[in-house]
Structure 1
């Protein structure tokens, strides 16, 4: 019996399974999934940042659960978002790399793709995407509105999202022209608040895919860092992150104002590792690598979940999970049997009971600069930096920075990983493994 059925029985209600879906959808919590863009593991205060102010994200952690071993779906934007939308890791999902389409947009997912938004609509949710899509092009079979989102505002194309002062954004299938001084992040943050106000009376799912702190380095104000003895770029980077933090604070305040904070599950995470290299900020924290790396700094994400009254406040969890676990977790949350294939598991018990769930092996592949792979099983992690290259082996329980390659000392472990890697991916015409040179 799932947690929400048990809750209703305790309260004297009837078993949810006795009611049609539309009748019991109102008992489910709202879900907000906040995705930062290129935010490193060490870029927020609750994960060790010493210089950039993130009081609202830190409060989210203090009121919820902070995950020390959560992973993005990939080490770059589009495939990471595809794993989130489909529940499949990069060995199985359709989009396994950043593939640009001219003049605008990215490689689309197939028309019959079952997405996280479809899942939530099935449970009676109003679904919204505000922010960056990057999984199709305008007019393709893979736009937000064709992939299960009732409402979309933001960037269709992740290449256009490199600028915070774009000529236009999209609202559903309408191109919205912007003035030259319109800062896109501010528009999307305001739109997120408006979406919540419009839909707070019934369950909603909001995928809030902010573009901060992805390049370019642009911000309307350097506050609160104007007087810091830093470079101009350092001030801009810090101000961008703090501005996003401010708007997350505004969103959480609105949930309380509307008295739906206890009925709302909020996730916060990042799509891949840090893109910037400012030594002062130590973007990857204790981890090795950054965006486009298969080491932990490229894929481990600063992740938080908050749900007052359900997730114990101020907890730190070592639950291992990745983006492809979100779909089975929300299927569990909404009492649905997930009929589409998935590489993920539900981590709902870890969220509401604090009971870690054993995770099957995790897998990543990366198609830029040749081909690389990574996998994790328990505390063992392997990295292959190129076709035909040997596997590197690390024990993350004692070597989080991946300094000591133990492959030579543990051939049995390497053999098991080689066997796993040989079966972890399906063939793809778009994302084939190049021949070894």
Structure 2
């Protein structure tokens, strides 16, 4: 039986915020020679039970465009939400929610959304024309607005915040209900995980015959670098782990006496900075939560009938949002062996730590380095559900890659993004990439080679060309090195004009190129 012939599985798509490729133990941390390293044992176990996608790219190295392209199945040459267009309304078109709902799935979104439309300064439900329940999700629980995800204690003010924005709690919405102080003491990673577990259990009891799709979008380890108030409960699953209680002031079972006070014991006594201990604790909390969700599937007897994807929205950040604390992505080399961080189109900014698990369907302990990108998930999950991908999608189904059955079509890898800062001058970065001007940036893959240009002033500007399969640090620019690469330069310039449409809201210097 092929995957496509298999009856519809449940689907959980876990998206975390600002986790670098190098932050996963199995990808990089476990092999670091430095003594300062953190661990992800549950995610490492996840990897042994499924597939590592080692060359999976986000659409843009920042939150809003990355999430929009994931949901819409359109890369950044076609997706209307580009650059830093936070809270811009997700288009009223096909997306992961609508497609899977059409296929008969019960759909839920839990966590950080950030694409509602409306005035960014107001909480006006009537202005949120792209609220999740209006974009294919039957149920929503989480942060509606982008910057609300900058706090990990929605029901509490936080005096150590480095600005007014980061010193106040932010509302969580459950469908039409607003929750504020009711969530006092609740830490977002735990809160979202507890709700997700409860929703899965409740749905399984109510409609065991109906498959479900859950988009679980954590707001961590993005800054602020808040930590939990107590240890993660033992066990996991239906009886253990985090649990939903549902009472005001005691919404979940991990509310301690003092918010933002617990550090993981593996890190608490290390000779690290406070912010490093905080970051490592946040990553370990995500790790525990993923293991908790997987155990829930096992307890329900649906583990082998559930496809789970884990990835991050963009490269690692360098913020703490806590007064007096400065964090660097170089603390744990969160960018892995690459150059670049969040807001860079170098590999460290756009190559994502991605795992896929479906027991009995995806080969265990498998690793795949075929280039793919976020917009491929819409046709992939449509394929899994038994539907054809909508024509509007730019992606290809990854089922042949995941299953080893059939022949995979080549993915279109494309990035465009504007940022006015420079690549940080970390000592881990080679001089030729330190302080690299970002400004207008663009990436395209042709013949397996990566074309990248930054500080673009016109379409005549050349791409640097790298063989990232063998040159992960993007150290040897092959452009102009022989006749093939001279020809490839022009093909890349031609290619980017064919696969994109200009957007008035995100003008580019190559928009009017002939």
Match of 1:169 in 2: 172
User: Structure 1 residues 195 and 180 mapped into 2: Cα distance closer, same or farther (>3 Å)?
Assistant: closer
- Structure 2: runs of 5+ lacking an equivalent: 31-36, 118-124, 155-168, 229-261, 319-327, 421-438
Count residues in correspondence.
Answer: 410
Match of 1:66 in 2: 52
1:279 CA drift (Å): 2.9
**Aligned: 1:198 with 2:202:** yes
Counterparts of 1:30-429 in structure 2, within 5 Å, are: 30-50=10-30, 51-100=37-86, 106-110=87-91, 112-137=92-117, 138-139=125-126, 140-166=128-154, 167=169, 168-178=171-181, 179-200=183-204, 201=208, 202-220=210-228, 221-224=262-265, 225-276=267-318, 277-353=328-404, 357-369=408-420, 370-388=439-457, 389-409=461-481, 410-429=485-504
What TM-score, normalized by structure 1, do the two folds share? Answer: 0.90
- Aligned-partner SS, 1:205: strand
> Segments of 4+ in structure 1 off by > 6 A?
none
1:142 CA drift (Å): 0.8
Q: After superposition, what is the alpha-carbon deviation per residue over 1:105-137, rounded to whole angstroms, capped at 9, x for unaligned?
A: x11123x32111000001110101111111124
Task: Find the aligned partners of 2:78 and 2:404 in 1 and give their Cα distance.
Answer: 30
Task: Find the aligned partners of 2:306 and 2:215 in 1 and give their Cα distance.
Answer: 13
Q: After superposition, what is the alpha-carbon deviation per residue over 1:35-85, rounded to whole angstroms, capped at 9, x for unaligned?
A: 011000000101111421211111110000011111112210010011111
Contact 1:319 1:357 in 2 (8 A): no
1:290 CA drift (Å): 0.9
Task: Find the aligned partners of 2:407 and 2:473 in 1 and give their Cα distance.
Answer: 23
Moved more, 315-324 or 170-179: 170-179
1:278 CA drift (Å): 4.2
Task: Find the aligned partners of 1:358 and 1:340 in 2 and give their Cα distance.
Answer: 15
- Aligned-partner SS, 1:303: strand
**Aligned: 1:3 with 2:21:** no
1:380 CA drift (Å): 0.4
Task: Find the aligned partners of 1:297 and 1:354 in 2 and give their Cα distance.
Answer: 31
- Aligned-partner SS, 1:266: strand
Contact 1:132 1:209 in 2 (8 A): yes
